[in-house]
Structures are given as structure tokens and as C-alpha cells.
């Protein structure tokens, strides 16, 4: 009996976690949540302000508090800009330009990235460097050369000039986003496909492209935000009302002597809704794409 007591007394005793560490962790998490809530308020504030702004007339815009709800909300501002302000046509043009350019940019960037990372040829590093140089070219420095080129090709006041411009300027950043992800893809899958007799085109469209869908969603949403909010190219290359986008069409509500501020607020509110909805729907894909492209091996 004494031997058993001696052995039991020699067993190590597990120490319970100190209450101080638990309190410290709760305080750290609490501080983090407070900071995140403050940041969320700062992010949501402009949207709330713009929504209230869109429901006011000119007198209420200047005489009321920015966050005050109008006594008689002007919901007709939305109806008026959609029907009388030609916003429906501008909205459709923005959708066509944005979707076309995003699809074309992501597809071409995927092809370039596949050729650079998965195929062995002498000039792949040089070609990658040329695309990366495009990140350093300011947009405004290219307006005159592009205008002259599009004039010779009869593409001024043509939607194709906008789609080509969006695609060309978004290719470098899209390739850079896809590059890290393609370097993590296992080559064994492609080697097995080659052994089965698959061609390069079949490997790209049937294997590599479907595997890169998460990072393509990330690149797509970044391209979509840029294309949807772009102003300079449309304002320079497009003159007809039937080809203008939302960002340029807002100028219709700015007159020489008066400006309809409520209509401008309603137009801006309509213009940001597609971006917000797209981001909310694709947020999980965006996080997956960022995480997939950040880990190598």
C-alpha cells in the first residue's frame, strides 16, 4: 500500500490555465472587435450619407444636416433619372463594357500566365517583364497616342475602343494576380494529361482553367471595379449619348446655372449597387483566391 501511495504522489499534477491569460485574451479580442466596428462605421458612413443625399432636393441638401432624413423623401429622384435622364441606357452600356472587358482580360491573362509558367520557351521572362512594365505607364500619358490610333482605325465613338482600352490596361495587374497561383498548381496533373495524349489547348481549358477559378474570381472583381468606375477613356473616346456610361452620364444633371443634386445622388447610388452586390456574392471566392495565391508548394 505504501508503494502505491509513493507512486501516486510522484505523478505530475496538471496546472490549470491562469485566469490572467484568459482575461488578457478576452481584452485583446474585445479591442480588436472595437477597432473593426469603428472601421466598419467609417466604411458604411459614405453609403448612408449618399442614400440620404439622394432623397433630398437642392434646398434640403444645403440647409439640412448631412445625416438627417428628409421630411418628404424624394423617391421620384430615382424614377426621374432612370426614365428622363437616360440612366437606363448608361447603365446598360456600363454593364456591356464591364462584362466584356472582364471576360476578355481574365481569359487573355490566363493564357499568358499559363504560357509563362507552364511552358518552356526562351523569351518567357522577357515577355513577363514587358507586361510588368505596363504597370508603370500612367493612363493619362496614353490618351493622345490612343486617340490618334483609334482615329486611324475609325474606332472613335465606338464601344470597341473602350473595351480594348480596359483590357490592355488591366492585363498587367491581372497577370500579376494569376502568376502566384499558377506557380502553386501541381505539374503532375498536367504531366498525366500529356501521357494520356492531351494537347496544350486541352490541358489549359480542361485542367488549368477550371483549377484557377478562385483566383480568377479575385481578378475579375478587381477588374470590374476599375472598369465600372472608369471615366477618362469614356469621356475622351465617346461622344454619342447612346454609348456613354454612368460615370460620364452624371454630367447631364450639371447645368450652367443650376445643378440637380438629388438626381446626381440617385445616379451615384444606382451606380454603386452592382459593385456592392457583386462583392457580397463573390466575397468567399475572393478570399479563396487571395489565400490560394499566397501559399506556394
Residue ranges per structural domain of the chain? 25-74, 84-294
Task: Using pLDDT thresholds of 50, 70 and 90, give the confidence band for residue 286.
Answer: low
Percentage of the chain exceeding pLDDT 70: 86
Which tens digit of pLDDT belongs to each residue from 235-252?
Answer: 999 989 889 998 888 877
Residue 217: pLDDT band (50, 70, 90) is: confident
Cell numbers 446626381 correspond to 264
Give this prediction's pTM: 0.79
Q: Which of 70-74, 158-162, 170-174 is predicted with the least confidence, judged by mean pLDDT?
A: 70-74
Q: How many Å apart are CA 271 and CA 263, to the nearest integer?
A: 12
The fold of 84-294 is MetI-like fold (1.10.3720)
Rounded Cα distance, 297 and 185, in Å: 8
Q: Which pairs with CB-CB distance under 8 Å and at least 24 residues apart come from 46-51?
A: 47/272, 47/276, 50/265, 50/268, 50/269, 50/272, 51/269
Helices (H), 64-204: 76-83, 87-118, 124-133, 143-152, 159-182, 187-195, 200-203
Please, are residues 53 and 261 in contact by the beta-carbon 8 Å criterion?
Answer: yes
Mean pLDDT of 59-73: 82
How far is it, in rounded angstroms, from Cα 101 to Cα 38? 36
* pLDDT given for residue 59 in this prediction: 84
Residue 164: per-residue pLDDT: 95
First-to-last CA distance in the chain?
Answer: 58
C-alpha to C-alpha distance for 264 and 246, rounded to whole angstroms? 11
For 95, 169, 173, the CA distances from 106, given in Å and listed in that order, are 16, 12, 10
Euclidean distance between CA atoms 216 and 144, whole angstroms = 32
Amino acid at each position: 500500500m505504501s508503494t502505491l501511495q509513493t507512486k501516486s504522489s510522484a505523478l505530475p499534477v496538471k496546472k490549470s490555465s491562469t485566469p490572467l491569460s484568459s482575461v488578457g485574451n478576452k481584452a485583446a479580442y474585445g479591442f480588436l472587435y472595437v477597432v473593426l466596428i469603428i472601421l466598419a462605421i467609417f466604411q458604411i458612413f459614405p453609403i448612408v450619407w449618399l442614400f440620404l443625399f439622394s432623397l433630398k432636393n437642392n434646398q434640403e441638401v444645403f440647409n439640412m444636416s448631412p445625416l438627417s432624413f428628409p421630411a418628404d423623401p424624394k423617391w421620384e429622384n430615382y424614377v426621374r433619372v432612370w426614365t428622363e435622364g437616360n440612366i437606363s441606357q448608361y447603365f446598360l452600356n456600363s454593364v456591356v463594357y464591364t462584362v466584356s472587358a472582364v471576360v476578355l482580360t481574365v481569359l487573355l491573362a490566363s493564357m499568358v500566365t499559363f504560357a509563362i509558367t507552364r511552358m518552356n520557351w526562351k523569351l518567357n521572362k522577357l515577355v513577363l517583364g514587358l507586361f510588368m512594365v505596363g504597370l508603370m505607364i500612367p493612363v493619362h500619358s496614353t490618351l493622345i497616342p490612343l486617340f490618334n490610333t483609334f482615329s486611324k482605325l475609325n474606332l472613335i465613338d465606338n464601344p470597341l475602343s473602350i473595351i480594348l482600352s480596359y483590357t490592355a490596361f488591366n492585363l498587367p495587374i491581372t497577370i500579376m494576380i494569376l502568376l502566384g497561383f499558377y506557380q502553386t498548381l501541381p505539374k503532375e496533373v498536367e504531366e498525366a494529361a500529356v501521357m494520356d495524349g492531351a494537347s496544350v489547348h486541352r490541358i489549359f481549358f480542361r485542367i488549368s482553367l477550371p483549377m484557377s477559378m478562385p483566383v480568377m474570381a479575385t481578378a475579375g472583381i478587381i477588374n470590374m471595379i476599375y472598369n465600372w468606375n472608369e471615366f477618362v477613356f469614356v469621356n475622351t473616346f465617346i461622344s454619342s449619348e447612346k454609348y456613354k456610361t454612368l460615370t460620364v452620364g452624371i454630367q447631364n444633371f450639371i447645368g450652367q446655372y443650376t445643378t440637380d443634386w438629388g438626381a446626381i445622388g440617385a445616379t451615384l447610388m444606382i451606380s454603386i449597387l452592382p459593385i456592392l452586390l457583386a462583392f457580397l456574392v463573390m466575397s468567399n471566392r475572393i478570399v479563396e483566391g487571395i489565400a490560394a495565391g499566397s501559399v506556394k508548394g
